[in-house]
Structure 1
Amino acid sequence: MKTKPQKSKNLLSRRNYHADNKGLAVGSIVATLIALTPYLFYLHESVPETKVWNTFLFTYNSGYFENANIAMWIIAGKAIPVLLLFIWFFTCRHWWYHVLLVPIAMYSYQIFATLRSDLFNFDSNQLIYLIPIMAIIIPTIYLIRAQIFNKINNANKSLEELEEEFKISPKNFWDRIKQYF
């Protein structure tokens, strides 16, 4: 009789072990990526100081910047924060994580404007393009906040208990993406 509970207990501990190993592997990849960001930023130093940069994968014409090195420096200065914000967005467990979409959208707009080097002041009108994103995200965050405080006041629950209620444990990558949108 005791062998069956032990087998199921062993099976459960093996499942938890594999889940822990998967979490450890993903966490290690994320930590390594964060630790490598200074090196990723300084990759622009390997780009030549010419207007046209030819590689075996592509040819880049720096256009407005007239120097591929400077263009890559500007793009790296915007791409590294986007990378770190995406990591924060996908690993954040707080109720307010959707607010991170605003700076992600801002930096993404700046990257695309930099790649379209025919624009002169690409940083000047970015708030106009962010208004639709902010018009959706800010009221959503406010409504979530109102729901949280309503439940705290009515149910005498702690903030940690409410965060546990709001958490959804996705089964795979696509479920996690669907959870955010």
Structure 2
Amino acid sequence: MDKHHNKSTQKDYKRHKTDSKNLFVGGLIVLLIAVAPFVFYSYKGLPNDSQVWETPLFTITTSYYSINAYAWFIVGKVVPLYLLLLWFFTCKHWWHWIILVPIAMYSFQLWGIFNQNRNLDELELYYILPLMMFLVPAVYLVRAKLFSNLRKDDLKSFEEELMLKKTAWQQIKDLFR
């Protein structure tokens, strides 16, 4: 009787320890999401009339209109980037890899801001295109394989279905069935 009670107590302790850890991690994620608007509007506390910002620790010089505008560009990319990263690392769905496309887009835009390139949204498409050419078909094939396994279709019937001539509307409807 004591052994059974002891095992039950150990399981309850382990479950409580896991629940406490999950609560802590969940609370941290909620805090990171809740602090996003404050991080975004932090640029308002920076100088609005100068292209140079000197502090005892560092000096920032920008070719943008002002330090305030430069910070606005940065937080406009950093906040969505860190929210997307948070979503990517906490998402348990099979499609979460496609979130890498907007993560790459914001990363290249942020890189352009740090290099103080005025053509912010022009060149990152050329860098993101190879990623998209690999990632989008890979995610779609994973989706097709999952749904094929769910319906118990074999690969031959899947290929036959792909060869059928369908209207654009039928193809779109098939994507969501």
TM range (shorter): 0.7 to 0.9
Matches of 2:20 and 2:14, distance apart in 1: 10
Q: Tell me which residue corresponds to 2:115.
A: 116
Call closer, same or farther: CA 1:52–1:26 in 2, change over 3 Å.
same
Matches of 2:98 and 2:27, distance apart in 1: 26
CA RMSD of aligned residues (A): 1.3
Q: Tell me which residue corresponds to 1:164.
A: none
Q: Alpha-carbon deviation of 1:92?
A: 0.8
Q: Tell me which residue corresponds to 2:169.
A: none
Q: Alpha-carbon deviation of 1:57?
A: 3.7
Find 1:149's aligned residue among 116, 132, 147. Answer: 147
Find 1:135's aligned residue among 129, 133, 136. Answer: 133
Q: Which amino acid aligns with 1:24?
A: L
Matches of 1:55 and 1:103, distance apart in 2: 34
Matches of 1:12 and 1:129, distance apart in 2: 50
Matches of 2:132 and 2:56, distance apart in 1: 40
Instruction: Flag the structure with larger Rg.
Output: 2
Q: Any stretches of 5+ residues in structure 1 without a counterpart?
A: 156-181
Q: Alpha-carbon deviation of 1:27?
A: 0.6
Matches of 2:9 and 2:53, distance apart in 1: 58
Q: Tell me which residue corresponds to 1:58.
A: 58
Q: Which amino acid aligns with 1:60?
A: I
Matches of 2:57 and 2:150, distance apart in 1: 55
Matches of 1:5 and 1:68, distance apart in 2: 67
- 1:16-46 deviation per Cα after TM superposition (whole angstroms, max 9, x unaligned): 1111111100110110111111111111011
Matches of 1:52 and 1:14, distance apart in 2: 56
Matches of 2:90 and 2:5, distance apart in 1: 35
Task: Tell me the SS of whatever aligns to 1:123.
Answer: coil
Task: Tell me the SS of whatever aligns to 2:60.
Answer: strand
Q: Alpha-carbon deviation of 1:127?
A: 1.1
TM-score normalised by L of structure 2: 0.81
Task: Tell me the SS of whatever aligns to 1:124.
Answer: coil
Give structure 1 regions of 4+ aligned residues with deviation exceeding 6 angstroms.
Answer: none
Q: Alpha-carbon deviation of 1:5?
A: 1.4
Q: Tell me which residue corresponds to 1:126.
A: 124
- 1:70-120 deviation per Cα after TM superposition (whole angstroms, max 9, x unaligned): 000111111110111011111111110000000000001101100111x22
Q: Which amino acid aligns with 1:59?
A: T
Q: Any stretches of 5+ residues in structure 2 without a counterpart?
A: 154-177
TM-score normalised by L of structure 1: 0.80
Call closer, same or farther: CA 1:56–1:33 in 2, change over 3 Å.
farther
Matches of 1:54 and 1:140, distance apart in 2: 48
Q: Which amino acid aligns with 2:65?
A: E
Call closer, same or farther: CA 1:57–1:102 in 2, change over 3 Å.
farther
Q: Alpha-carbon deviation of 1:126?
A: 1.7
Q: Tell me which residue corresponds to 2:11.
A: 12
